[in-house]
Amino acid sequence: MRGGAWRRLPVIFATLVLLIPGCFGSNEEIVSGNDWADGFSYIDDPAGFTGEDRIRPFNVSHPNPSLNESWGNTSWAVFGNLEGGNCCEHYLAATEWGWILNFGGEYPTWSEDRGHTWQQWMPPVLQDLNCRTPKITVPGQEGLGEGSIIQTTTGDIIAMGWFPYPSSSGGDQFYAFFWDADEEDWTWCYNRLTEPFYDRSWQMEIVGPIDAGAPYGSGEWASLVISNFWHQSSNRGGQMSTDGLNYYYFEFPDRDEQLDVMEVDLIAENLEMSWDYTKPHKEMRGFPVPSGGAYFPNFFNDGGDAFLDTSLNWWRATTVGGESLPSEYCAFDSSAHLHCIVNSGLLFEHMISTDGGETWKNQTYDLTGEASEIEEWEFHSNGMLDLFVLNVRYQSSEGPDIDIAWHVREYSESLEPDSLTFLGLGDLDATSGAGQDIRFDFASMTILPDGGSVIAYHDSSDPDPLFGLELFLPDSYASINA
């Protein structure tokens, strides 16, 4: 499950495919003699994927979009609703042993073989014996739903599903899903809702060991789930669990509250590989802390940070040097780099720190002249591979939405991006939120252990959002993972 032989095609074949127009799609303004494909090859034969239009050409260009300098095409595998999505989004994640996870729709969905086959886990009639709230379900009849999913640093998988509509199993239901790394199996519990209309959830690990008072108890970690709608609109709390199954209402502090201040040590070293897979979706606006707990930058109205300790108590927080972090959107990876992204208008700034947020290196991404506004965005990094990817969906100056991904390879040496990939056709104008004719509610992405990005996008080839799986990767990644 955690290994497997990689299938690689010769570099010569891959380079020919990429540089000869018409093999997988037309290329425009291909740069003759450009060596962007040197040292890359296909980790998986595109011809080995089944399904209509499964393999599609995505254009690779100079990382400065204003130059409009196309370098060629690479083939990506493309997936849709049948692989775990719904009408409006995908919720993507990965595991350190190579699974692709998706909980955009009703149930946990995953692939153990890089997208060739997919599995879905539906809750059986009876739930786990340790569930505090009695409940039976009608498998597969819970109605339309959506959820969240993430791996913990211990190798477990925590997830939740929300089924809002009346069905044979009930209505407005919160199901907790848990994959136990020791048992290598799924289980589930029904949880009472303390508030209606939970909306799309965001979920993260609170690094333990956790030792909290009633009703939360103790555990290796805690799982925090928040409602996108309630938390962002009125700062209502979330749901907390220390076993991944039984959740209890959990309050956030008031945004103007004057709590005691704690200096939080954000300097980390010798992190495990699992830290490349514990980053929550950016809209969680917080991140797990290696020494324990979780950090929420810019949480308070005055710009101050918040910290949740391993007793599940709230504090105002600073770095050891008394600083606040520069953005709500930060995360660690296994290299112990702390990444933060600042978005202002059409500009993005990627910042990294190795000293706990005291000093920073930065790189600016500028879409001025290309975009009229930013629609959605997400980022992910892989410390083992020294890889950072920034995914942006923007409203182009000409009208349609464009999905792009900047790759920064060996970011520890230089934050300058190596390439810019255009995902899909870039010919659709979609909007987030209920009631829209064409919906793309949020960006979502992850990076597999082999370095392949998995990124959600939307174009006119499908009525619902899609996600692409990167196949053409640096050969050096194979030796790093050996």
Q: Please say whether the dihedral angle defined by the alpha carbons of residues 185, 96, 458 and 429, taken in this order, is positive or negative.
A: positive
CA distance 482 to 477: 9
pLDDT bracket for residue 125 (50, 70, 90) = very high
What pLDDT is attached to residue 3? 34
CA distance 454 to 470: 6
Is the confidence at residue 41, as pLDDT, over 70? yes
Q: What is the pLDDT of residues 238-269, one digit of tens each?
A: 899 999 999 999 999 999 999 999 999 999 99
**For 32-45, what is the mean pLDDT?**
86
Query: Which neighbouring-strand residues pair with 41?
Result: 473
Q: What is the pLDDT of residues 275-288, one digit of tens each?
A: 999 999 999 999 99
Tell me what the pLDDT averaged over the chain comes to: 89
**For 129-152, what is the mean pLDDT?**
91
Residue 290's H or E segment, with its range, is: none
In degrees rounded to 5, what are phi and psi of residue 282? Answer: -60, -30
**For 346-350, what is the mean pLDDT?**
98
pLDDT bracket for residue 143 (50, 70, 90) = confident
What pLDDT is attached to residue 193? 62
**For 460-472, what is the mean pLDDT?**
96
pLDDT bracket for residue 35 (50, 70, 90) = confident
CA distance 365 to 391: 11
Query: What letter would DSSP give residue 411?
Result: T
What pLDDT is attached to residue 4? 34
What pLDDT is attached to residue 47? 95
Rg of the chain, C-alpha, whole Å? 22
Q: What is the pLDDT of residues 176-205, one digit of tens each?
A: 999 999 999 999 999 976 555 466 889 999
CA distance 211 to 216: 8
What pLDDT is attached to residue 436? 58
What pLDDT is attached to residue 40? 96
Q: What is the pLDDT of residues 291-327, one digit of tens each?
A: 999 999 999 999 999 999 999 999 999 999 999 999 9
What pLDDT is attached to residue 208? 98
Percent residues over pLDDT 70 in the chain: 90
pLDDT bracket for residue 26 (50, 70, 90) = very low
What pLDDT is attached to residue 463? 92
**For 271-275, what is the mean pLDDT?**
98
pLDDT bracket for residue 435 (50, 70, 90) = low
Segments making up each domain of the chain, as ranges: 1-78, 80-346+357-418+428-446+474-481
Q: Which two tokens stand for residue 445?
A: 């992405």
